[in-house]
Each structure stands twice: as C-alpha cells, then as structure tokens.
Amino acid sequence: MNPISKLTSLGQSLWYDNIQRKLLENGELKAMIERGEIRGVTSNPTIFNNAIAKTNDYDSALIPLAWAGWDAERIFWQLAVEDIREACDLFMPLYEETNGGDGFVSLEVSPYLANNTEATVAQAKALWERVSKPNLMIKIPATPEGIPAVRAVIAAGINVNVTLIFSLERYAEVMIAYLDGLEDRCAAGEPIDHIASVASFFVSRVDSKIDPKLPEGAPLRGKAAVANAKLAYEAFAAVFTTRRWESLKLKGARVQRPLWASTGTKNPAYPDTLYVDTLIGPETVNTVPPATLDAFRDHGAADVTLTRDLDDARSIFAQLKTIGIVMDEITDELEAEGVKAFADAFTQLLAAVDARRKTAASSLGQLADSASKLLSSPELDSVPARLWRRDPTLWATDEAGQREASNRLGWLDAPEKARALIPTYQAFAQEIHAEKIDRVLVLGMGGSSLTAEVLSSLQAGAKENAPLSLAILDSTDAQQVAETARNFPPEKSLYILASKSGGTAESMAAFHLFWKLSKGDGSRFIAITDPGTDLEKLALERGFRKIFSSDVSVGGRFSSLTDFGLVPAALLGMDLNAMLDRADWMKRECGGGTALSGAERSRSAMSAARNPGVALGAILAASARAGRDKLTILADAPVSALAGWIEQIVAESSGKNGRGILPVALEPLDAPEVYGNDRLFVYIRKTGQLDNGVAALKHAGHPVIELPMTNYADVSAEFFRWMVAIATACHLLGVNAFDQPNVQDSKTRTVAKIADCKASGKLAEKDLVETKAALPALKKFLAGVKAGDFVAINAYLPRNGETIEALQRMRVAIREQTKCAVTAGFGPRFQHSTGQFHKGGTNKGWFIQVTYETRDDVDIPTQGLSFGTLLRAQAEGDYEALLAAGRRVLRVRLGADFLREFGDLTTKLSE
C-alpha cells in the first residue's frame, strides 16, 4: 500500500491546496482524483492570484468580460466560480460514493469582509447559490466577526470551511459555533444530515513565527506547530464526544473535522513531509500544496501520530512560556497577519485582473463603448442558448431560409462526431504511410480545401517532421496546373478529390487531368463528398481507394472539423486527439457539449460576454455597424495561412443583402496613419513578442483583437471560435450565415460562356484594357474611390510566391493612391471565398480584374476544353456577374510576360 492509500485507510483525507484552470482543462485534476491521491480541494486568494495573475490560462474568459465593461472584482468572481464549479463536478462521484463524506471544494468569501459579520453571511449565501453544488464549502475566517457568521451560515444549511484558525481558544469558539448553527437549524425544523464542515487549523506558520525567537539550534525549534495541532485534536475529541454532540448526531449531524492547513514545510532544514507525517489521525483532513503532495507520495510515512506524545506537546507550551513566548500572543499576531496577508493577496489579484481588463478594453480603441453596450445587451444574451438549441430564427424569418439554416448546424457537434472517426482516419493514414506515398494533393475549392492548406502550412512550421507533404490545387490556371502536375506525379502521390456538392467544376477539371496522368489508377485517388453525389458515384465506378462520406448537415465553409480537415490532418501525422481536445475546449468555452455538465449548462446560460465565440461575433457586428466593416487580418508568418480560412468564412457568410464584413487578409502592414476609421484589426499571433507594427496600431488607438496560438492544435479552437463568431455576427447584422445566394450567378454565366465557346469555337471577351492603356485607365478608375470604399484585385494569374509578392506590391501602391483597404485574390479561388461578398455585400467595392495571355495551355482531357479557356470563361462570367450586381469593374489584360508588365504597372502607379 502506497503512503497515500495507507493514510486514507487510517481515516485522514488528503485535500489539494491548489486550483488553476490548466489542471481542470488538461485532465490532471481528474486524474489525481481517479488515482485516489486527493479527496478535496481548497482555494484562497493567494492561490487564485497565482493562477490568474501569473498565467494566461484565463484570457479566453477574461478578455471578453473586459470588452463587456465588467470591473475587476466581478471578473474575478466569475472566473473563480467557474473553476470551483468545474472542480465540484470532478469530485462529485467521490462525494456521492462517500455519501457526502469527502469530495469537497472550498471557495473563500472576500478577505475584505473578515471583520463584517452580516456581509460575510450575505456573500456566503450568494456564493452557495451561484455555485449551486452540494459539495461546495464556503470558507469563512475565524475572526471574532467571522464566528457568528459561521453559526448563521451553518444554520442556513451551507457547508463551511472555517479558516485561519491558530489558537486553541479560537478553535473552541469555532466548534461551538458549528454546534450552535446545527441546533439553530434543528430548531427551525430543517434537516442537518447533509451539512459538512471542517475547521482549518494553520500549522507551519506557527513554527515560522516562533522559531526566529529561539536561539539557533534550540531543541524547541520546529516543535510548537505540531504541538499546537495535537492539542487541537485533543480538544476536537473532547467536544465531539459530549452529550450535546451525541444529541445532534442522532439527528444525522456529521463531525466538524479538523483540517490541517499551511502544511508545506517552509524551513528547508525540516523534513518536507513533517506536517503530514506527524498529524495523521481519524476524522481529519490535511490540505497539502503540490510540492508536499509529491513528497508524501514519494516517501511519506503513514501512521496514526496525532494522539502520540500529548504530554510532550503540553510541555513544549510550558517551556515556551518560561522563556517569554506566550502562545496567545503568537496566535493573535498570526490571525491578524493571516487576515492581512489574504486581503493583500486579494488586492494584488484584483490589481492584476484590472490591469489586464484595461489592456483588453483599450485594445478596442473607439469601439470600446459600443462593444460594451452590445455585449451587455439583452439582444445578445439570448444568442448562446438559442444557438445551442439550433434555433434557425436567429438567421432567417422565411421558411426557406430557416430550413437552410437548420440543415447546416451540424458543425456544432463536429468535434464529437470526429472523435468517433479517429480510428478510421488513423488507419487510413497508416495505410498510405506504409506504402511510402510521400505527397498528397487536394483537388478542391473553398471550404473543401482551405483547411487542408492551413494544416499543411502549420505542420510545415512544427517541430515534428510530417510523414509526407501536402498541397492543394484550387486553380484552373494552366501554368499553375502544369507546375502542380510536375510536382505531384502519380507514382509518388495520392490525390484527394474533395467536393461537398460532388460537382465543383474546377475540381472535376483537375481530376480529369490527373486521372489521365495516372492512367486510370483508382488506387491513387480518394474522394471526400456528401453521400449520393455524382462524385461518390464516379469514385465507385472508377475504383477509388476510399470514399469518405461527409456530414450533410455541415456546410463547406464550416467543415474544418469534419473529413475535409481531419483526413488531411491524419495524413500529415498530426495529433488528432490533441486537435479535437482544443476544439472541445473552445466548444465548452462557447457553452456547448454533447452531454452538458453542470458547469457547461451554466456557461450556455451565462452572460454572452463570457462566451469567446459570441463575444468575438459581437465585436465584429458592432464594428460593422459603426462603419468599421473592413476586418483586416494580420498574422505572424508561421500562422498566416489561417487568414485565408477566416477570409472565406467571414466573407461568404456575411456578405449578402447589401450588408456584411469585408475581410482584408494579409494586407501589408503599414504605419497607423495609413488606415482610416473603417478598420477593425485581428492579429493572429504566434506566442512570442508582439509585432512592432501591431503594437503601433494599438498605441495609435486602432481597435486590435489579438488571438494567440501556441501550437498547431490551437487552430482547431480557432476554427470553432470563428464559426460561432460569424454565426453570431450574421445574426446581429440580419443575414443568413448559411446560404450564398450570389455565388451561383457567376457559375451559371461561366457555363453559358463555355457552351458558346464550344459552339462557336471562340470565347467572347469584352471591355478588356490591354497593357499599354492600363496605367491611365487604372488611374482614372481609382480616382473615383472615396473614403470607406475598398479596392479588390481579382487576379486570374498563377498563384505562386512571385505573383503573391507582385500582388502585395500592387496592394500597397493602390492603398497609397486611395487611402482605402485593398484586397487581393486569385481567380477562380476567390470566387469560392470573397466572391459572395463581392456581389452580395456592401456596394463599396472597386474591382480590378486582371487576366493574361496564357503561353502554354493545357487541355482538360475528355472535356473538349482547355484550362486556359476555362479560366478566361470564369473571369468573363464573374465580370458579368459583378456588373449585374451594380459593381464598378475595370478589366486589365496582360500579355504572356505578365509578371514584368504587372510590376511595371505597379511602379508607374507609385510614381
């Protein structure tokens, strides 16, 4: 039997004098309980100060509450109650197993109330009701004013941990207060069989107080604390064997167990388990700090020691008195110091919370007031509960819109569904790795491929080496297609044909090419698609290696935590459990859960400001309402790929009915004065030093939201946060987050262009400005741009490092000319991302479409069409769709040497 098990068998319970959110979230506290190491938890202001003020574990909760305008003390109690409630849930099985004998979690009333009886009673009752757990104990200090509070709170039927007891005299008062409270309750006709109480008798501080008063090497050093506790235990035994007690016991009363507190060894000369080994006895508790628990687990000595050497204990007190050390004076000083120390720790804690609160609130700049009002409004408070009820009226009033929304809410359960599929994902990945396939190409558009791109980028920056490389092909540009085909030859590659609808034109064109290159080898292909699609039928007919049937209740842009994201993640060798743990964590933070615990149910019903997803969505909406509808997404390089995913879910979800939020992804960062008052910045930050440019934006008063990421698993939490956020923002803006009414127009027009081309042998293109005339046309076009507008460069060019850099330079040049936000996207990729916003969002856009003369075209096998023609048809169709939506468009046609020509145009525009 190990020391802890033996100690438990002797009638003493070890409680853990520590709580912090990290232990609750990473499963360590639960594991400690299940291993039988701890049977309860105690907390105090110092513990919470260390947990909250010295870590970032609470930022996901603290920051939105700060945005909502909560003060520091209100924020603290929210955070503390959450931790205590969750710990109570973890201990509930033990509490029930022991019939209420163990499994308690203690929460202390404000140290500021130590000398106020009525206020202590009132707060004890309020905290009891707020936590609402039978295994909660309210900690009340054993001050002269605290003693009557103990009596009143016990009489109210509330479990009490009486803390800061140092003297035998005060301990006697505590025990009497407990009995008085039980008798008061009996007199009122109320039951007492469920009430539990402990009396926390502080130990090591006694030695720390007395030892300095003794000569070096004196035999009384390190003796007083244990002697004091042993005499307290003797007093306990005397009180709880009296006739008075026996009368209460017959009515179901439980003894008020002595709890040995402050049992960490502060003097390194003493054994590190001194205040555990020497204080073991039946019906007692020892609450130990982490280091002491580790030490006792390793080499503690478990034996009944409390009842030994009582005469020696009395002799120690007598010897101390003869040398002028009076215990009553010592314990009075310790009580006063203890009250002050906890009050000081509480003050320090609130100051730290307040500093973070101010930083978070100030980060919103001029948005702070409107954001605070919205986050505190009844308009928002109902959103979390309605979201988790799957209430489609959040987004639509018409029957068709409500039906569309109802059919697209499966993402709320995606983490749980994905967890069940992990063995399938892992088995498939192992199969591919075993065959030494060293590269994967995803043929997909928009939500079917963007998650894979994000994960591949994150894994490339991780310390672990991926077992293969992964890229996506979401272009019909002939040069890009040809280059991709060279990099992903069939003999080395696996092709993932990903399409929810099963008929995405770009993906199918790519498939026809790679099918021909593979000579019809179905083992090189897998499909991810909804059940019953044409793609599923094709995969069966062609003998694809595997078909993953995606969840029909999840729309494409919300599909990150489904097959579309997790199959690539598994192939990349990512830790799926870790990723889903983070998604689950964010889901709980946002008020969700499959089988909601009490803590999670409370979160779903609590203030919307506490919900990080809803809070972010409210900020997005408040910003858009205030005219700051350009969501400018900045990112540190290692996590920059996430910006493209955010761009899609924000633009395609919100940009409709003449409203919406325009994502401006990865626009080159400039000085604060470059930006107008139509910007809201989101900074995806890889843990480390704050980017100097972002710091300057904040200093200048621009609203900046920081979203830190520590490792690749955190991206799953961000996926879920943003899905909740955009669903919330769309509700507040009055649009349906789950439809895309303007996307089809461009597709329909493209199909018509292709049909005409096949019939006539040529593709009709109009309104093209050739390179030589481009500069004056561009300057004239940009002259019409006014404050609050935006410019979008829709580039039908190959997407690679050179063209990305060229587009970034052009963005800067146009921003310098117009002082407006400038977006950039590659066609046809952007049509599956920002394309919906372009036609359906606010009519503030000035669109520059860039095409070029394809040098070496590539045929699409069996389709009677080339990739170059398809790309031009898509550009033509999108141009007409923009015009039909009343948008302003300039078309520029570059030659085959398009990079040089585009660079020259940028240079001349900047002159």
The pLDDT value given to residue 764 = 87
Instruction: Report how far residue 511's alpha carbon sits from residue 524's, in angstroms, rounded to the nearest whole number.
Output: 11
List of E strands, 560-678: 630-635, 662-665
Q: What residues does 298 pair with on adjacent strands?
A: none
Burial (CB count within 10 angstroms: exposed 0-12, middle 13-18, buried 19+), residue 676: middle
Which residues of the chain, if any, have pLDDT below 70?
A: 463, 593-606
CA angle 830, 832, 837 (to 5 degrees): 75
Which of these, 554, 449, 558, lies nearest to 495 by C-alpha position? Answer: 449
What does residue 239 show for φ and ψ, rounded to 5 degrees? -70, -40
Length of the chain equals 911
pTM of the model: 0.93
Q: Hunting for tokens 């073991």 — which residue is that? A: 280
Angstrom distances, CA of residue 664 to CA of 25, 676, 736: 34, 13, 21
Three-class secondary structure of residue 133 per DSSP: coil
Q: Could you tell me if 868 and 513 are in contact, meaning their C-beta atoms sit under 8 angstroms apart?
A: no
The pLDDT value given to residue 397 = 94
Question: Residue-wise over 191-216: b if at least 16 C-beta within 10 A, else e?
Answer: ebeebbbbbbbbbbbbbebbbeebee
Q: Hunting for tokens 């919307």 — which residue is that? A: 608
Instruction: Report how far residue 896's alpha carbon sits from residue 852's, in angstroms, rounded to the nearest whole number.
Output: 6
The pLDDT value given to residue 594 = 42
Element (H, E) at 138: strand 136-141
What does residue 865 show for φ and ψ, rounded to 5 degrees? -155, 150
The pLDDT value given to residue 606 = 60
Q: What residues does 860 pair with on adjacent strands?
A: 865
Q: Hunting for tokens 């707020």 — which residue is that? A: 130
The pLDDT value given to residue 689 = 77
The pLDDT value given to residue 464 = 72
Instruction: Report how far residue 86's alpha carbon sits from residue 75's, in angstroms, rounded to the nearest whole number.
Output: 17
Question: Residue-wise over 309-321: b if at least 16 C-beta within 10 A, else e?
Answer: eeeebeebbebbe
Instruction: Report how far residue 412's alpha carbon sits from residue 418's, in angstroms, rounded to the nearest whole number.
Output: 11
Three-class secondary structure of residue 687 per DSSP: coil
And the tokens for 786?
């006014």
How many CB atoms lie under 10 A from the CB of residue 303? Answer: 13
Which of these, 495, 492, 518, lies nearest to 507 by C-alpha position? Answer: 495
CA angle 380, 381, 387 (to 5 degrees): 80
Instruction: Report how far residue 586's alpha carbon sits from residue 718's, in angstroms, rounded to the nearest whole number.
Output: 8
Q: What residues does 597 pair with on adjacent strands?
A: none
Residue 595's contacts (CB-CB under 8 Å, 6 or more residues apart) are: none
List the end-to-end C-alpha distance of the chain, in Å, as a whole number: 83
The pLDDT value given to residue 412 = 97
| pLDDT tens digits, 529-581 | 999 999 999 999 999 999 999 999 999 999 999 999 999 999 999 999 999 99
| Residues carrying an active site annotation | 139
Residue 776's contacts (CB-CB under 8 Å, 6 or more residues apart) are: none
Q: Could you tell me if 667 and 636 are in contact, meaning their C-beta atoms sit under 8 angstroms apart?
A: no
Q: Could you tell me if 695 and 347 are in contact, meaning their C-beta atoms sit under 8 angstroms apart?
A: no
* Sheet architecture: strand order including 546-549: 469-473, 439-443, 493-498, 525-529, 546-549
